[in-house]
Every structure is written in C-alpha cells, then in structure tokens.
Structure 1
Amino acid sequence: MLVLLPPSEGKASSGRGAPLKLESLSLPGLTAAREAVLDELVELCVGDEDKAREVLGLSEGLRGEVAKNVELRTAGARPAGEVYTGVLYDALGLATLDATAKKRAARSLLVFSGLWGAVRVTDRIPSYRCSMGVKLPGLGALGGHWRTAMAAALPEAAGAGLVLDLRSSAYAAAWKPKGELAGRTATVRVLHAPTRKVVSHFNKATKGRIVRSLLSAGISPKGPAELVTALRDLGYEVEAAAPGRAGAAWALDVLVDEVH
C-alpha cells in the first residue's frame, strides 16, 4: 500500500543536525527536478523580499518564511514526519505509533511537496515554504514542473498494491495515476453525514485518523475493494463508487456525524 499525503502549511522549525543532502532523499529520479526548484527558490528569496513574498503568496505577517527559504541549503534537516504539522498530521500522530506501525509508515507514506516533489516521512529535510500552487518566474507552475519526473518515478514507488490518494487538488495536479494503476487507486472524501458537505478541518483530521488506524492495525489492502472492507471493519462508515470506465480511480466517501 502506498498512501499519498498532502504536506502542511505549518511546519516545525528546522533541526540542529546535518543540513539537507538531496542525493539521500527517496525517489532519486526526482533529484534533478528538486535541484531546479531549490536553486530558483533560494535565488528568489535571497533577492527582492517583497517579490519573493508575492510569488510565494505570503502575507506581511509571514515575511520570516522568506528568510527561512534563504537558508535551505545550510539549515539543519530533520525527518519529514517531524517537519509537517497541522490537523492531518496531529491526527496521524506518527511519533506515538508503536515501533512496528512506524516501520509501516516509513514504507507506505509519501508526502507531496512543491519543493521536494514527494518524500518519505523518514527523509531528512529542512523547514521551508513553497506550496504546489506557486508559479516560479523561471520554472513556471510547480504542478506542471513536477509532472514529467513524477510520471517516471511514482509508478515504481506504487508497486503492485493499493494507492490511497489523500492529496488535495493542488498536489494531485503533480501526478495522476493512469491505466491499470488508476484502477487500484482510491481517493477519499470525508463528508459530514447530516449535511453531506466536506468541511476542511474535519476532512483533514479524519484522513489522519484513517491512516493511523490502518498502520496501527497492520492492514495493507491490495486494492480499493479490500480497503472499503478494512475501513468498515475498523468502524468507519464508507460509501464506495467503483470507476465506471477503465483507467479511473475509485471514489470513497467516509461519512462522519461528529469529528473532534
């Protein structure tokens, strides 16, 4: 099972250890694309701070994020699973998983990123600010920049099992499973059952709990139909729609009455 996660806007501060080593990150086929984004992002932030804030979509109150990007090559790195914070990651609670579940997380979780493309939770990265929606002056829209490299690297990472796609639309733009791989991919929406509406906070928290439940139970479904059964066995209310055509992903709705 491969679980595709969005990053978080909020990030823990960089570590105090060794700085970033691009060549040590997972999915080495993305290295050249990572280098290109890193080079332009650092150059942008070293230059005109106001322009950098505009390109990155940062408010005046987030001016310090530009300085953070300036130091990307020298700041201490830490595991990505510690860098990403926020609602989904709080609910996932990687630090509180038992040792066996942590090993499953290291194998199964892949976090998408405007800067890194995608990283494992064990990959060591510095804290940064660069969403997938950014359009850099030289490289252009990052979603488009990543597509070619992702198309080559991600099918191998997916292997022969289930792909559980929990990304937001901006990050899904960087890679879309195709063909046979799409047929064993499941996307998930979390709906407030009484209103049938998606609520962002509830959506993120429930997705984090779903991943934690699967990792803690040691469940690794081979395909979407098995995932539906597994989630129901874990106590989730799930409605599933199998794809109506070849090359399309399954769509799962998880219904919740209350989310806390």
Structure 2
Amino acid sequence: MLVLLPPSETKALGGDGPSLDLDSLSHPELTPVRRKLADALSELAEDVPASITTLGITPNQADEVARNAELWSSPTLPGLKRYTGVLYDALDIGSFSKAALAKANQRLAVASALFGIVKAGDRIPAYRLSGNTTMPSLGTLRSLWRPTLEPVFAGMDDLIVDLRSGAYSALARIPQAVDVRVVTDVGGVRKTVSHFNKSYKGKLAAVLATASREPSTVDGLVKLIGKAGLRVERTGERKLELVTDHQ
C-alpha cells in the first residue's frame, strides 16, 4: 500500500543530513526532471524579485528565496520530518514506535512539486515551490511532471490511497488510486470539509501507516478504516468519503 500525502508550504528548517543527493532518492527515473527543476529553482533565486513573483509569495517571505538559493548545499531531513503543518501534526510521527515508523517509511510518500514523489525516508532540503507554479524557463509543473510521473504510478502494483490536494493531483493522474474526500454531513447534504480537512487526512494517514496488515482491496481498506473508529463510506469503485462532524 502507498499512501500519497499532499506536501506543505511550511517546512522544518535545518537538518542533520548531508546536502541534497538526487541519486539517493527513491524512484531514480525521476532524477532528470528533479535535477532540471532544482537547477532552475536555485538559479531563479539569484533574482529575488523574480522569485517572489514566480513563487507567489510576498517580500516579507524573501527568506524562502534564500532557502532555494541554498538548495544544493543546505542540510537535509527525511521527508516526513521536513514537511510540517496541520496534516503532519495530526500524523504525529514523533509518537510512532520504532516498528510503526518502519511501516510508515514503507507506506507513506509525499507528492512534491520539486521532487515528484518523496518517500518518507528520502532526505531533502527545505525549499519553496508549489504545484501550481509556472517556472519562467520550464513552463508549468503540470506539463513538466505528467509525462514522467504518470508512468511511475502506472507501474506500481500497490494499492494507492490518494490524499493529494488539487494542485498536486494535477501533476499526475492516477486512475487506479483510491481517492479519499473528507466531508461533513449537514442535514443529509454532504459538503467538503475545509478547515479540518488536513487534520482528518493526517489522522487517516496515521491509521494506514501503522496498521498491522496492509489492505490489498478497496473493501479491505474500508474495513481497516472503520475498525480504527473513523467513519468512511464507499461512493464509487475507487472513491471513498471520510465523514466527520466538523464543517
């Protein structure tokens, strides 16, 4: 099973590992695009105003540009420690036992604008790049990643649970994945949850990452989630709704 998480705009700073080594990352077939993007992003960082415009940030966030400038030289952290925010707070890998963390390292991956796929243990630096960015020298990330990423996912035999957000779903279509939507039930009407969406996805990811057995079918996935105390309903062949009490 592969649980595909959305990344976060916020990243933990610093690191305890060596500088970025693309050859050490999982899915080496992605290396050429990763290198092209990393080079372009670090070169763009030499022009701070252009970087601010391209990245869609404010002048007060110029430190994000500085991090991109140091992309090739800054220390690294494992992916699950690099990404931060509501989803990753709810995932709470710091509470995992050694055995649970070993399972999480095998089952969890993060959709990344810069690296395509980041497995839990892949060591990466802090960076700033969003899925909807258009790079001046390369074009849209969607046009860059789709031809490379989609064959990688198509070749996977694992049950894929897709928790990505819109901008990252656009980087690669995964027809065989199980798509999970977080909703609330208001008077019999289902509505997409906004504020608590990431929190519930983090809780779900924790359940799937640490389960004693990996489900191989959608029915098995539904059963596992239900046993963990989460309310889930199957709404299509490969579509699930995680129903919450929050709006």
Tell me if 1:177 matches 2:169.
no
Partner residue in 2 for 1:246: none
Partner residue in 2 for 1:253: 241
Tell me if 1:163 matches 2:170.
no
Query: 204, 208, 226: which one pairs with 1:210?
Result: 204
Give RMSD over aligned pairs.
1.5
Tell me if 1:199 matches 2:193.
yes
Partner residue in 1 for 2:121: 122
Is the 2:233–2:242 Cα contact (8 Å) retained in structure 1? yes
CA distance in 2, matches of 1:29, 1:200: 35
Partner residue in 1 for 2:22: 22
Partner residue in 2 for 1:188: 180
The verdict on how the C-alpha distance between 1:16 and 1:217 changes in structure 2, with shifts beyond 3 A counting, is closer
**Aligned-partner residue type, residue 176 of structure 1:** R
Deviation of 1:20 (Å):
0.6
Structure 2 unaligned segments of length 5 or more: list them: none
Is the 2:131–2:141 Cα contact (8 Å) retained in structure 1? yes
The verdict on how the C-alpha distance between 1:99 and 1:16 changes in structure 2, with shifts beyond 3 A counting, is closer
User: Which digits, 9 at most, give the CA deviation of each residue in 1:151-208, with x for residues without a partner?
Assistant: 232233x32x311000001111111124xxx1xx211111122363223331110111
> Once structures 1 and 2 are overlaid, which stretch shifts more, 142-151 or 120-129?
142-151
Tell me if 1:242 matches 2:239.
no
User: Which digits, 9 at most, give the CA deviation of each residue in 1:79-131, with x for residues without a partner?
Assistant: 11111001111101112111111111111111111111111110101000001
Is the 1:114–1:143 Cα contact (8 Å) retained in structure 2? no
Per the alignment, in what secondary structure is the counterpart of residue 110 of structure 1?
strand
Per the alignment, in what secondary structure is the counterpart of residue 196 of structure 2?
helix
Tell me if 1:223 matches 2:217.
yes
Partner residue in 1 for 2:226: 232
Partner residue in 2 for 1:40: 40
Q: TM-score, normalised by structure 2?
A: 0.94
CA distance in 2, matches of 1:214, 1:6: 15
Detail structure 1 runs of 4+ shifted over 3 Å in the superposition: none
**Aligned-partner residue type, residue 14 of structure 2:** S
Deviation of 1:133 (Å):
0.7
Deviation of 1:17 (Å):
3.3
CA distance in 2, matches of 1:71, 1:219: 41
User: Which digits, 9 at most, give the CA deviation of each residue in 1:48-101, with x for residues without a partner?
Assistant: 211110001011221110011000000011111111001111101112111111
Is the 1:87–1:201 Cα contact (8 Å) retained in structure 2? no
Q: TM-score, normalised by structure 1?
A: 0.90
Partner residue in 2 for 1:247: none
CA distance in 2, matches of 1:37, 1:215: 30
